[in-house]
């Protein structure tokens, strides 16, 4: 009863205020108390090199630690943050990420039967993972929100706005643009393809306002090289599970096999052409996609799981009457995906069980399997009419 009252306390307006206030507060905490804001510096400081017409790639210890792995366009877009004091920049960066995330969920769920209830449920499911991203001053909340905004505009036939958000994602993280593939479900396909081409060209050449075109092309070439040779992440994914649970060797060949299996399983439901215009099928496929791009990602790390858990939230709101299995799977995601990295669990359990065995990925993998089952067993309109007639 006490837990139920806590949930009831978090009305939709209170949740929105909590997101904005808490996520800005953690930026202050990272800057003032922990002095851990290198991720933000790595986003904001490459603009300095653009101003000097120097390469934004490679090590620049005078500006930030680690290697910059994003596009020249993203460095150009972060220009306003370069001119801000770091304390203000970290707050506004988290605020921007939070507002885009909130807007994405809000608009994407705008045509639900009870959008207020669905938004509230989604925000409650996502909040812990979104907080982890905010604590790391990462861009994943922005990516999630922009992808959802793109899907919202695509669904409503506003292809130029949709293409903008997909292309924006692509210039930050490649997989963000993959959501554009859902244009197959909607009309205005030629117009959307044209819009994508125009936005890629426009945003792609935007940095020529600071550097010559030939230098910009060299920077893009270096960016692609950086992406190819990047070291693997912590592999909080199927790859990590296969290694920890089954002793799979860490080889490129094994990774490619798992990626190929995952991609095949993801693409096969698209063969159900008769369901492409079915609203429930579309929503399930989008949830399926958000889970897939993280669960089968060899670069997946804890802060990226806001995408996978958003997939869980999008799946959950498609359930008219959740079964006991559905409720169990959601509970597993909350406990073992979102709460496992927190101080609720002792460090010894985190370091000796959760981290080495990639427990964080396991619950999302189970939900991914559940969504796949629901996609394949969803009846077509013809099958529904036959059943109704009988």
Kindly indicate the confidence band of residue 324, based on its pLDDT and cuts at 50, 70 and 90: very high
How large is the average pLDDT for residues 3-29? 90
**pLDDT tier, 390 (very low <50, low <70, confident <90, very high otherwise):** low
Question: What are the residue ranges spanned by the domains of the chain?
Answer: 1-230, 232-381
The alpha carbon of residue 61 and the mean position of all alpha carbons in its chain are separated, in whole angstroms, by 29
pLDDT-derived band of residue 389, with 50, 70 and 90 as boundaries? low
State the Cα–Cα distance between residues 249 and 260, nearest whole angstrom.
17
pLDDT digits (tens, 9 = 90+) for 278-322: 999 999 999 999 999 999 988 888 899 999 999 999 999 999 999
Q: Compute the distance between CA of residue 112 and CA of residue 317 in angstroms, rounded to an integer.
A: 9
241 against 384, higher pLDDT: 241
C-beta atoms surrounding 95 within 10 Å: 15
Compute the mean pLDDT over every residue in the chain, rounded to the nearest whole number: 93
Query: Which pTM does this prediction carry?
Result: 0.94
Region of residue 53 (left: phi > 0; alpha: psi -120 to 50; beta: else):
left
What percentage of the chain has pLDDT greater than the value 70? Answer: 95
Beta-carbon contacts of residue 204 (< 8 Å; ≥ 6 apart): 73, 171, 220
Residue 378 has pLDDT above 70, yes or no: yes
The radius of gyration of the chain from alpha carbons, rounded to an integer in Å, stands at: 21
Report the alpha-carbon distance of residue 383 to residue 380 in Å, rounded: 5
């Amino acid at each position: 009863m006490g837990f139920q009252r806590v949930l009831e306390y978090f009305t939709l307006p209170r949740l929105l205020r909590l997101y904005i206030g808490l996520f800005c507060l953690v930026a202050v905490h990272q800057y003032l108390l922990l002095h851990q804001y290198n991720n933000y510096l790595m986003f904001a400081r490459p603009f300095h090199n653009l101003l000097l017409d120097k390469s934004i790639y490679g090590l620049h210890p005078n500006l930030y630690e680690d290697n910059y792995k994003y596009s020249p366009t993203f460095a150009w877009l972060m220009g306003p943050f370069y001119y801000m004091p770091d304390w203000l920049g970290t707050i506004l960066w988290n605020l921007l990420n939070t507002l885009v995330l909130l807007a994405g969920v809000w608009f994407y769920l705008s045509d639900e039967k009870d959008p207020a209830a669905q938004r509230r449920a989604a925000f409650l499911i996502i909040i812990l993972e979104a907080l982890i991203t905010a604590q790391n001053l990462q861009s994943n909340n922005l990516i999630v929100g922009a992808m959802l905004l793109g899907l919202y505009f695509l669904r409503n036939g506003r292809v130029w706005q949709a293409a903008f958000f997909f292309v924006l994602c692509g210039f930050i993280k490649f997989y963000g643009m993959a959501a554009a593939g859902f244009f197959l479900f909607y009309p205005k396909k030629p117009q959307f393809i044209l819009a994508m081409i125009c936005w890629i060209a426009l945003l792609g050449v935007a940095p020529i306002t600071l550097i010559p075109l030939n230098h910009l092309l060299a920077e893009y070439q270096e960016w692609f090289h950086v992406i190819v040779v990047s070291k693997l992440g912590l592999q909080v994914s199927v790859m990590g599970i296969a290694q920890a649970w089954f002793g799979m060797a860490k080889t490129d060949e094994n990774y490619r096999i798992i990626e190929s299996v995952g991609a095949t399983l993801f693409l096969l439901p698209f063969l159900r052409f008769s369901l492409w215009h079915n609203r429930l099928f579309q929503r399930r496929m989008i949830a399926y996609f958000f889970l897939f791009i993280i669960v089968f990602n060899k670069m997946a790390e804890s802060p990226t799981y806001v995408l996978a858990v958003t997939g869980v939230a999008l799946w959950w709101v498609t359930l008219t009457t959740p079964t006991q299995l559905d409720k169990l799977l959601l509970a597993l995601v909350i406990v073992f995906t979102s709460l496992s990295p927190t101080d609720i669990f002792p460090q010894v359990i985190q370091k000796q069980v959760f981290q080495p065995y990639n427990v964080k990925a396991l619950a999302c993998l189970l939900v991914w399997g559940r969504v796949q089952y629901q996609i394949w067993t969803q009846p077509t309109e013809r099958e529904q009419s036959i059943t109704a007639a009988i």
